[in-house]
């Protein structure tokens, strides 16, 4: 029987997980630890925001995978006195079970084995790490479906302060990148007006236009590995330090892959007249001369 997951050694010597069936590498190029730290922890300014926040800080971990992103964040905020709630989403825990059998190579998991097994087996756990009160819930299922269900029947998923958006790429997992899906996320955040920022590894024009059309402010994210840029989005403009500017918008007008996905089918199309007009009226660009 063919393995669904295998270990992959990266050029920097770090190990990560490769999904054979999806043809996708978890945390490619620089590995799980550095990617989690640079792309999510640092870029979303999670430590400082938690220190300045006097309520429960909610993190959506979109794509639990082998649990690198939440674990690296927990390791780096464990000295804080705060309450953090993590909601991890994935269709399966199979990659995490695989990772737990390979902790000699995936060393970031060491010391967390029993915690993660309890999370998988019970669906939620609560624990203290020094003075950090952690509530961690795993929700299994198709994330866009779960978000739509929450939108129509609120109560299961509270609005996030930070979203670690680590889904597989639009070409292999288009349902995670549709305009409707991101509009649903934005609508959930709008209910309570909680300041929220989202980071993702993608820098594609299609993804950025989709986030803008969904109502987010969108900015240039930090470089990760060989990627010169990533993407950060937020429902509050002040959470974006490097917002996309007029130069980017002019390039996007001429891109051959800029139109948001209306359906969960990966189709590359140039920006429509409707989309361009909507972007021009977006608060991020409406004051800019074109």
The pairing of strands 197-200 and 162-165 is parallel
The predicted model scores a pTM of: 0.96
In whole angstroms, what is the distance from residue 284 CA to residue 212 CA? Answer: 9
- pLDDT, residue 2, reads 58
Residue ranges of domains in the chain, CATH in brackets: 26-245 (3.40.50.150)
Return the closest-CA partner of residue 106 out of 48, 67, 149: 67
Locate 218 and state its tokens.
Answer: 């969108």
pLDDT at 221: 94
Q: State the SS3 of 252-281.
A: HHCCCCCCCECCCCCCCCCCCHHHHHHHHH
| pLDDT above 70: percentage of residues in the chain | 98
Question: Is the confidence at residue 226, as pLDDT, over 80?
Answer: no
pLDDT tens profile 168-212: 899 999 999 999 999 999 999 999 999 999 999 999 999 999 999
High-pLDDT (> 90) share of the chain, %:
87
Residue range 121-148: mean pLDDT, rounded: 97
pLDDT value, residue 185: 98
What DSSP state is assigned to residue 224? Answer: B
Assess whether pLDDT exceeds 50 at residue 1: no
CA 71 distance to own-chain centroid: 14
Helix, strand or coil, per DSSP, at residue 13: coil
Q: For residues 68 and 108, is the Cβ–Cβ distance under 8 A?
A: yes
């Amino acid at each position: 029987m063919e393995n669904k997951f295998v270990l992959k050694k990266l050029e920097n010597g770090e190990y990560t997980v490769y999904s054979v069936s999806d043809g996708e590498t978890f945390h490619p190029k620089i590995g799980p630890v550095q990617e989690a730290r640079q792309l999510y922890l640092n870029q979303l300014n999670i430590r400082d925001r938690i220190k300045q926040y006097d309520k429960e800080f909610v993190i959506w971990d979109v794509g639990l995978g082998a649990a690198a992103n939440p674990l690296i964040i927990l390791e780096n905020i464990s000295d804080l006195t705060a309450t953090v709630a993590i909601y991890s989403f994935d269709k399966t825990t199979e990659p995490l079970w695989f990772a737990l059998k390979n902790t000699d190579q995936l060393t970031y998991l060491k010391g967390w084995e029993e915690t993660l097994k309890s999370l998988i087996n019970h669906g939620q756990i609560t624990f203290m790490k020094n003075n950090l009160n952690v509530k961690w819930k795993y929700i299994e299922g198709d994330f866009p479906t779960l978000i739509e269900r929450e939108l129509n029947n609120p109560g299961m998923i509270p609005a996030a302060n930070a979203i670690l958006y680590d889904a597989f790429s639009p070409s292999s997992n288009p349902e995670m990148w549709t305009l409707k899906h991101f509009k649903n996320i934005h609508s959930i955040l709008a209910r309570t007006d909680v300041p929220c920022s989202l980071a993702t590894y993608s820098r594609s024009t299609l993804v950025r236009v989709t986030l803008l059309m969904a109502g987010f402010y969108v900015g240039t994210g930090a470089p990760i590995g060989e990627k010169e840029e990533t993407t950060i989005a937020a429902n509050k403009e002040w959470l974006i330090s490097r917002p996309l500017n007029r130069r980017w918008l002019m390039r996007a007008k001429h891109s051959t892959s800029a139109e948001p996905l209306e359906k969960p089918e990966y189709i590359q199309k140039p920006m429509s007249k409707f989309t361009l007009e909507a972007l021009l009226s977006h608060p991020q660009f409406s004051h800019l001369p074109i």
